[in-house]
Chain A
Amino acid sequence: MTLKIVKPGLATSIQDLGRPGYFHLGIPMGGAMDRLALRAANLLVGNDEGAACLEAAFLGPEVEFTAPATIAITGATMPVKIDGAEHPGWTAIAVKAGQVLSFGYLKAGARIYIAVSGGIATPPALGSRSTYPIGALGGVEGRAVQAGDELPVGAADGAQAGRSIAPDLRRAVSRPAELRVLPGLYVHRITDEARARFFGEEWKVAPEADRMGVRFRGGSQMDFVPRTPPFGAGSDPSNIVDGCYSYGSIQVPSGTEPIVLHRDAVSGGGYFTIGAVISADMDLIGQLQPHTPVHFVPVTMATALAARAERRAVLNRIREALG
């Protein structure tokens, strides 16, 4: 069985839960930007939670199935069509050999996940099938899918069609969206007033946001606390002596536009980081459309951990409902 890519959409790539363990060598974790949506899609079709799926941003691909399968589409709200007939998202759907999956216009969110029973079976690289184009790792020859690609799919009976995930277990993007932030290592580099403005003002997602990072515009230029640059930091006040970046960390080059580092981000560099978006809100970033208004909300470590537990509880409810 293969998935034939008729139309690729925009930067549609094979993703699983990524390849943690190589960040210290500069190889990012990669994997789905909305991890809960990928897990949910896999559970719906009877796969292991971390099986490889297609991740498509903003524009759905067109895909033909060469054999019967069970599929599920989760994540963003985008009309799902099989041979032109509309089907619900977040639901297991039976497809026949020769049928074609396509999509209508994106209605909400940003990224869809397409799971197929058996999982996409391209060769893993460093323990993951996730596509990391800059490093030419994973996916199809390390790149996004193209028209004409035939993606191998593992053998599976496929779960029963019709099962779905209750709407209250799907996370909607509020407007403005709220991203909770744990202030971090270098927040002392900006003035108290600049910090108050960062958390008080409305920012907007810039259109160049991608899998490496999501940039924001619309807030004020940040004022830095004067200093004598330490050896090796360079003269820009936003520079530091090179340090590690975490998943979710927010760097602000020259104090102008914050960038939240996401799954395919670099592992270190010389910009100060104001803090990190908490892990519970990273999936949400994967669902932000360009120009979405966003507020950054400072939280404590206790709140961040409680939010992580809350997200885990949602995942457990999905597991139980489909178990």
Chain B
Amino acid sequence: MTEIPSPLPGTFYQKPAPDQPPFKATGDAVAADDTIGLVEVMKTFIEVKAEVTGSFAGYIAEDAAPVQAGDPLAKVK
């Protein structure tokens, strides 16, 4: 199991837009370059890349949660 950390502090979003499903669902294949969520800071949405490969095992950080740099956002098996 690998945890994907937030690269920076801000507000974490699991979805690309409020009316859309999360980037990943449990069991989805994950490639290193896949976006698993967004962190909002300074009026910018930064895509969080998985940077690991495997199978998505769920989000750790809640949608719209405040996060700090290094906080775990999601798990990959």
User: How far, in angstroms, from A105 to B70 measured CA to CA in the complex?
Assistant: 6
Provided the pairs A59-B7, A106-B9, A290-B9 are in contact, do residues A207 and B41 lie with their beta carbons within 8 angstroms? yes
Most buried by A among B5, B41, B46, B70: B41
Provided the pairs A10-B46, A59-B8, A207-B10 are in contact, do residues A290 and B41 lie with their beta carbons within 8 angstroms? yes
8 Å CB contact of A290 from B7, B11, B70? B11
Interface size class of B (residues with CB under 8 A): 10 to 19
A211 to chain B, nearest CB (A): 8
* Cβ contact within 8 Å between B8 and A10: yes
A185 to chain B, nearest CB (A): 28
* Cβ contact within 8 Å between B9 and A208: no
* Cβ contact within 8 Å between A57 and B69: no
8 Å CB contact of A105 from B41, B66, B69? B69
| B-side contacts of A59, CB under 8 Å | 7-8, 46, 69
A203 to chain B, nearest CB (A): 14
* Cβ contact within 8 Å between B42 and A291: no
User: How far, in angstroms, from A176 to B40 measured CA to CA in the complex?
Assistant: 22
Q: Does A32 contact B (CB under 8 A)?
A: no
Q: Does A24 contact B (CB under 8 A)?
A: no
User: How far, in angstroms, from A58 to B69 measured CA to CA in the complex?
Assistant: 8
8 Å CB contact of B10 from A11, A105, A107, A290? A290
| B-side contacts of A128, CB under 8 Å | none
* Cβ contact within 8 Å between A58 and B5: no
Interface size class of A (residues with CB under 8 A): 10 to 19
B43 to chain A, nearest CB (A): 5
Q: Does B44 contact A (CB under 8 A)?
A: yes
Q: Which of A62-118 contact B (CB under 8 A)?
A: 105-107, 110
Q: Which residue of B lies closest to A106 (CB)?
A: B69
User: How far, in angstroms, from A291 to B46 measured CA to CA in the complex?
Assistant: 17
8 Å CB contact of B42 from A105, A106, A107, A210? A210
Q: Does B2 contact A (CB under 8 A)?
A: no
8 Å CB contact of A291 from B5, B7, B66, B69? B66
| A-side contacts of B9, CB under 8 Å | 58, 106, 110, 289-291
User: How far, in angstroms, from A311 to B70 measured CA to CA in the complex?
Assistant: 32
Q: Which residue of A lies closest to B40 (CB)?
A: A207
| B-side contacts of A290, CB under 8 Å | 9-11, 41, 66
Nearest 7 interchain pairs by C-beta: A291-B66, A106-B69, A105-B70, A58-B8, A105-B69, A210-B42, A289-B9
